[in-house]
Structure 1
Amino acid sequence: MRMGEGSMEENIRYEARQLCLKLSEQGDAQSRDIADSLTVSVANIICSMVFGKRYDYDDVKFVELTKIINKQVAKYGSSQLMTVFSFLRFMPGVNSSNRILVECIDEVHAFLRQEITKHRETLDNENPRDFIDLLLTEQQTQEHTDCFTEDNIVWIIQDLFVAGMGTTANTLRWGLLYIVLCPEEQQKVQAELDSVLGTDHDVPTLAHRSQPPYTEATIMEIQRIRAIAPLSGPHAPNEDTTFRGYDIPAGTQVLPNLWSAHMDPEFWPDPEKFDPRRFLDSDGKVITRPESFMPFSTGRRVCLGEQLAKMELFLLFSSLLKHFTLKLPEGAAPPSTDGCMGITLVPPRVNMCITKR
């Protein structure tokens, strides 16, 4: 996660270049939805870490895999009722979400097992190439391999994709949606990036991250106004707890309501208004730890991918706005900002006119 050569920064910057190249090749003659391209970009960043390689934007098999993972995440949300009332799994019609979820998981696992098999055939324990190699090497050193099986490895890798792909891609999609709805904010970000990067046609680096405060504040406002995981992940107290007068027995499942924190008018006046200035102090500097802002949850089980996600959001978002201007097609109705709730809050698909700057 460090900066510079040989780090994840270089993989993210490479993917940002490929995304900008892909959008440039498509031209700006007509409006289009770039949700799939954003998803492939973010998925490729995970792939570079896990598989040691990336996939082309036109790779039919890989694009289909990303769609299956997105469907899987959506079905996690609609099948949650069955985790509470397990008998619903046996009710025809009602259990369709669970059946589709299982099918998606099986397809993703089949893809991952193929990659694991390829890695095992060419494994060099002294020179691990990626995360799969590290897992396979670790598996060989375990005294009790029944605790670290290939099934475990498959689920670990799937968790990286499920947790790290849709969350970041959908945050970027929310960001572009609000940018086209608020063109004055887009202009402010672009002017700031131009002042920092000048005429450099390459993508930004993490060294630039502290220099454009309005850009960083805009990303934070995107995360606030549409918390990508409104109910975070399930937690449970280790011991009997009392919170604000409520008794919570040990082991009780607790869902932190991050949406409530991000939309609390006591901390965020007019919370439905998109306003990056919320995250700037009187000197124009970024407020690094504002109250009632926790896009990656909080506490000891805060999101493990927070640092990687912040790197991705800055590098991909700033690269897109440095190289392109985005707007809605002439006469198009403003898209809804309600979103669709599953495990994550997914924005609507939006056709945009994307013009090279």
Structure 2
Amino acid sequence: MSDEHTQTPHDIRLLIRSHIWAMGCRLAFLSFVLGTRRFVCKPRCNTMTLPLFWIGLFTTVSYLVIRSIYRLYFHPLSKFPGPKLAAVTHLYEFYYDVVKGGKFIWEMQRMHDQYGPIVRINPRELHIKDPYYFDPIYTSKAQAKDPYIVRTFATPLSTAATVEHDRHRYRRDLVNPFFSKRSVMGVDYIVQDKVDKVCERLTQALDKGTVVSLDDLFAALTADVISHYAYGESLGFLDTENLKNEFRDAVASAGLLCHVARFFFVVSMVADTMPGLVEWMQPSSKGLWEAKRMIEKMARSSLEKDHEKDANSRKTIFDALCAESVRPEERTVARVRDEAMVVFGAGTETTARVLATGSYYLYRDQPRLEKLRAEIKTVMPDSTDHVSLAQLESLPYLTAVINESLRMAHSVTMRLPRISPTPLAYKDYIIPPGTPVSQSIYFMHMDPTVFPNPESFDPERWLEASSKGERLTKFLVPFSKGSRICLGMNLAYSELYQMFATLVRRFDLEIQTPPESVRITRDFIVGLPDDADYLKVHSLVTNAL
């Protein structure tokens, strides 16, 4: 037989797959025919109707059996290790994430312990647990997001939820200039102004002897910063008595809905078209709709604004999204609203969590606190001094504390699959193109081969690695990597440097939170402790320096 007629294993798999689907179609057609007319048989002159229920049941079972056989033995991922049940059905993942509530991340860890660094975690997806293979997955090359995971987002028109690479690049380019290092350093006065307001709140708490919710306080800080930065004016959460924060509530609400939305795409459709119904059925989702309504008003206002008339004012992210040069299909209320929802939500909760986590560990460790304070005093001799971001970035121990806080905060625990248009090679495996492949940031940051004693807060690990010429930061990926790296990274670092430095230089705190309140046990986009919708850190302000 000539080479052109030789069938490769791939061709054989495609042939088998086509026959399986053809058989499934025949069964479906049979079900349709039998459902449109009565199937009658007359044994011994008695007319008996075969119940359509049993016909439908037989058809369904036959289809599921054939599909299971295909997935187990003929699917392109059939040779990859993993539980057979996970290869057959998404119900395996559904049980751990929906029924048990965000627990699939721990089942994935068990899978890796049993099957090795690469595992087939569901019928169509591979998960890798290898800190040295993060870059090939999260590369700067053209890649698509997994639409199955994108369903979890309550913002389908945002850049973060954009599946196609080219459209993602277009949308990202609209706002990318606002998050460059140069742009952020040019408006660091916005961050400093909000940091000063945090200090005012802490001073008031000291005078009154009241316990402060650090997580709420830091979330108000980050929400006021991002709203001022993106919209041109702060929404004033730091000025409210109870630090009410719709953006933080929105992140929590979206997290609680994320797993259900992933398995039932109709949930996202209903949520977008009938939010009142979802709010009635799921009261905990109220914060999401409140934030959407608030931002929708801002989006309408920006679209109606005369941008040429305001040419001399500082341009904002809303201005960029609503500019006349933007494609008409992108200049809609829904599109601007969804983009702003992600910018505000991500810019609020993630950085606030890092600040709360770092404060929790630092103020429970007096020697490290004093070591950091002594370093900060070298650039801030007076506790009320304002110093530049560049000066703070030059402090090695402050940088180490921030890196360790980023590692321990677990701001994003959900896996973020990427789809490569070309095959990927991992060890002895060739991953077929078009396969969703992911790693988990949580596993990266808690890998004991990279970070010994990963449960311990140890800023010195960063200094020791640096002294040995080791680049430990390549394993620090709280903002992910590649073409879809978090846009707000530079702004987040500005907030972290300025808030940590000012807090440590000016205040002594007594942490009132037990360890279990910051121990991550569930994955709802962000890591959550047991029986809580937020990571909570409470403290008493004991002294102002």
- Do these two structures clear the TM 0.5 threshold for a shared fold by scoring above it? yes
Is contact 2:247–2:345 with CA below 8 Å preserved after alignment? no
**Structure 1 residue 327, shift from structure 2 partner:** 1.8
Counterpart in the other structure of 1:338: 519
**Partner Cα separation in structure 2 for residue 222 and residue 35 of structure 1:** 14
- Residue 518 of structure 2: SS of its match in structure 1? coil
Structure 1 residue identity aligned to 2:219: T
Q: How does 1:231-250 map to 2 (within 5 A)?
A: 231-250=414-433
Is contact 2:420–2:435 with CA below 8 Å preserved after alignment? yes
1:40 aligns with 2:226: no
Counterpart in the other structure of 2:97: none
Counterpart in the other structure of 1:190: 373
1:66 aligns with 2:247: yes
**Structure 1 residue 64, shift from structure 2 partner:** 4.0
Counterpart in the other structure of 2:234: 54
Alignment length, in residue pairs? 346
Query: Out of 134, 137, 141, which is 2:320 matched to?
Result: 134
Is contact 1:50–1:132 with CA below 8 Å preserved after alignment? yes
**Partner Cα separation in structure 2 for residue 209 and residue 186 of structure 1:** 16
- Residue 55 of structure 1: SS of its match in structure 2? coil
Counterpart in the other structure of 2:488: 305
Is contact 2:401–2:459 with CA below 8 Å preserved after alignment? yes
Query: Out of 494, 498, 503, which is 1:315 matched to?
Result: 498
Name which of structure 1's ranges 269-278 and 121-130 shifts more when overlaid on structure 2. Answer: 121-130
Is contact 1:217–1:286 with CA below 8 Å preserved after alignment? no
Structure 2 residue identity aligned to 1:134: A
Structure 2 residue identity aligned to 1:221: E
**Partner Cα separation in structure 1 for residue 197 and residue 486 of structure 2:** 27
**Partner Cα separation in structure 1 for residue 235 and residue 428 of structure 2:** 52
Query: Out of 263, 277, 284, which is 2:446 matched to?
Result: 263
Q: How does 1:85-104 map to 2 (within 5 A)?
A: 86=265, 99=282, 104=287
Counterpart in the other structure of 1:356: 544
**Partner Cα separation in structure 1 for residue 281 and residue 345 of structure 2:** 17
Query: For the structure 1 residues 102 and 25, does the alpha-carbon distance in structure 2 shift closer, same or farther, using more than 3 Å as the test?
Result: closer
Higher alpha-carbon Rg? 2
**Structure 1 residue 201, shift from structure 2 partner:** 1.1
Structure 2 residue identity aligned to 1:356: A
**Structure 1 residue 49, shift from structure 2 partner:** 1.5
CA RMSD of aligned residues (A): 3.2
| Offset from partner CA, 1:120-139 (integer Å, 9 cap, x none) | 45433234542212322x2x
Q: Which runs of 5+ in 2 are unaligned?
A: 1-179, 271-277, 529-533
Structure 2 residue identity aligned to 1:132: F
Is contact 2:300–2:333 with CA below 8 Å preserved after alignment? no
Structure 1 residue identity aligned to 2:193: Y
Higher relative contact order (CA 8 A, sep 6+): 1
**Partner Cα separation in structure 2 for residue 97 and residue 84 of structure 1:** 21
**Partner Cα separation in structure 2 for residue 2 and residue 44 of structure 1:** 20
Residue identity over aligned pairs, in percent, reads 23
Query: Out of 397, 403, 407, which is 1:224 matched to?
Result: 407
**Partner Cα separation in structure 1 for residue 265 and residue 196 of structure 2:** 47
Is contact 1:232–1:297 with CA below 8 Å preserved after alignment? no
Q: What TM-score results when the alignment is normalised by the length of structure 2?
A: 0.57
**Partner Cα separation in structure 1 for residue 184 and residue 426 of structure 2:** 47
Is contact 1:16–1:203 with CA below 8 Å preserved after alignment? no
**Partner Cα separation in structure 2 for residue 352 and residue 101 of structure 1:** 26
Name which of structure 1's ranges 81-90 and 19-28 shifts more when overlaid on structure 2. Answer: 81-90
Is contact 2:379–2:387 with CA below 8 Å preserved after alignment? no
Query: For the structure 1 residues 5 and 39, does the alpha-carbon distance in structure 2 shift closer, same or farther, using more than 3 Å as the test?
Result: closer
Is contact 1:46–1:164 with CA below 8 Å preserved after alignment? yes
Is contact 1:33–1:350 with CA below 8 Å preserved after alignment? yes
**Structure 1 residue 104, shift from structure 2 partner:** 4.3
| Offset from partner CA, 1:292-332 (integer Å, 9 cap, x none) | 32222223322222211111111111111111112235xx7
Q: How does 1:71-86 map to 2 (within 5 A)?
A: 71-76=252-257, 79-84=258-263, 86=265
